[in-house]
Amino acid sequence: MSTAEKTFSKGLEGVIAAQTEMSFINGTEGILEYVGIAIGDLASKSSFEETVFLLWNKRLPTKPELEQFTADLRSHYTLCDEMVTQIKSCPIKAEPMHVIRSMISMCAMYDENPNENSVEAARHKSMRILAVAPAIVAAFDRHRRGLEIVKADPSLNFASNFLYMLNGEKPTDAMVRAFDICMITHADHGLNNSTFAARVVISTLSDLYSAMTAAIGSLRGPLHGGANEGVMKMLNKIDSVETAEAHVMGMIKNKERIMGFGHRVYKAKDPRASELMTLAKQLAEDTGNMDLYNKSHAIEKIMEREYASKGIYPNVDFYSATTYHCIGLKLDLFTPMFVLARIAGWAGHVIEQLEDNRLFRPTTDYIGPHNAPYTPIEKR
């Protein structure tokens, strides 16, 4: 193909770079499916563990299979003593996203065969990373608060265990279910930036830990996973429901970005936002945070009036911020929650990449000069 025939797509928009059986997105109609199953059905009927099995195996598990998968996951919950020591050595002012990125990378040093890239090895490594990631986040948060680190409880499911390790007490059923649904809705989302980063790294036949570390680094950005923190910061600046209109319209007038709205893919309401809106309202009622929810709902109505005609609707970050706040998470733990969930998707995509690998090597469109003269330094 000649240079003239090649096309340039800024940000690779519209470019198909991989094939997957994991998640399907129809942005025009607001559809998200995991292996063909609507996200709403999974959020209301499934569990995070079952959803991970679905993504990694492209089918729902039988009861014995789910029990075995869950048992395997729980068997890897506990951090080794060396990892705990490393977490305790982290500065208490460190950002949790920097900590989890560094600690996941460090996991490679405690793997006897860190560079093995068979599909089966990738599955085992992914299981271990998925299992210990919650312990890393919880342990660091307790360390920086001057609290004793709580060991994992293998009798608890993924959601319960994380909240137990974080708070040192068993969570309520409502909080567990809320967190579980958040994990399900964030588990995978096509070839997003962080997933692409993971696939690019593993396509070099590097190692799973490097791929996961790259993905976490990508997710940290405010244009990707860091957006939910921006939503909460915006909500905190609005004193009440009554002042929401003036605040938002002021932001619009000043051409400030309204965090939690709009999506590169969706031109209809993000289906994950629909699930989280209902969840956020229930949690707000249970935890005495209805003022926060009402501010969120007021902002959504304003944005619907102003921008729905342009295809700008709430995305998954908008109501996940309210949900995480109601669960009791600190603001800088919001994006790490995205990591805990998206490890499932990243791992599934890495496995797919290894099953039929080809090195990612796109080209560039050179727009610089040609035949430029070299000027000796004494004449510059």
d(CA 161, CA 111): 24
CATH architecture of structural domain 227-327: Orthogonal Bundle (1.10)
How, if at all, do strands 23-26 and 31-34 pair?
A: antiparallel
Quote the Cα angle for 36-260-315, to 5°: 15
Tokens of 69: 């998968």
Cβ contacts of residue 380 below 8 Å, gap of 6+? none
Residue 251's Cβ-side half-sphere holds a number of Cα atoms within 13 Å equal to: 17
Query: The sheet that has 31-34: what strands, in order across it?
Result: 23-26, 31-34, 37-38
d(CA 150, CA 168): 6
Residues involved in catalysis = 263, 317
Topology alike, domains 23-170+186-222+336-355 and 227-327? no
- Amino acid letter at 24? F
d(CA 359, CA 13): 20
CATH architecture of structural domain 23-170+186-222+336-355: Orthogonal Bundle (1.10)
Grade residue 124 by pLDDT with cuts at 50, 70 and 90.
Answer: very high
Tokens of 293: 């929810």
Percent of all residues in the chain with a pLDDT value above 90, rounded to a whole number: 75
User: pLDDT of 359-380, one tens digit each?
Assistant: 999 988 899 999 999 999 999 9
Element (H, E) at 34: strand 31-34
User: pLDDT of 309-334, one tens digit each?
Assistant: 888 888 878 888 889 999 989 999 99
Domain boundaries, the chain: 23-170+186-222+336-355, 227-327
Which carries the bigger pLDDT value, residue 270 or residue 12?
12
